[in-house]
Amino acid sequence: MTMKKICFPACLAFIAASFLTAPLALADGDHYTAVSNTAMSVTGDVWMDDFSITFENDESLEFSDLVADHFRVNGKKIPASLYRVKDPADPELQNGNALCGAGDVTYLANWALDDGMTAIAVFTGNRPPKSDQDMCALYTYEDPK
């Protein structure tokens, strides 16, 4: 048997396995451990980077762009990331709970909290939110180590 006959099937198997595991690659971002009751019961742990967020049940939202790098929380302007969701949705997550429950999520913001935690807020609406006042849900996570 020639080397080509041996290598070709092995290469095809590798390529097929790569495509089959591609959705799991989204979970390669920073791992955030759910700590708030809301996060534990709705999202579970999440994996997030500048391109998407993946929830514990493997549902995910892809971002189309970073809209802002500052955000108002409790009236104060703070460093934060505000992302536009590429395909707005309100995915069903843990225990049949929806991420927002009040319509499709169009924006997602995250920022650091003082105690080594991270907040993730989700929003509906056509315009980028300027503050946490219009969020439909807030989740708290332990920062990745």
pLDDT (tens digit per residue) in 70-91:
999 999 999 999 999 999 999 9
Give the pair of three-digit tokens for residue 54: 């993946």
Statement: residue 2 has pLDDT above 80: no
Per DSSP, the three-state class of 117 is strand
State how far the Cα of 92 lies from the Cα of 24, in Å rounded to an integer: 18
User: What confidence score (pLDDT) does residue 8 get?
Assistant: 44
Per DSSP, the three-state class of 109 is strand
Question: 96-127, pLDDT tens digit by residue?
Answer: 999 998 899 999 999 999 888 999 999 999 99
| Mean of the per-residue pLDDT values of the chain | 85
pTM: 0.79
Domains of the chain by residue range: 25-142
- Higher confidence at residue 1 or residue 28? 28
Q: What DSSP line would sit under 13-80, residue for residue?
A: HHHHHHHHTHHHHGGGSEEEEE-SHHHHHHT-SEEE-SSEEEETTS-EEEEEEEEEEEEEETTEEEEE
Give the pair of three-digit tokens for residue 60: 């995910």
State how far the Cα of 80 lies from the Cα of 82, in Å rounded to an integer: 7
Give the pair of three-digit tokens for residue 63: 């971002």
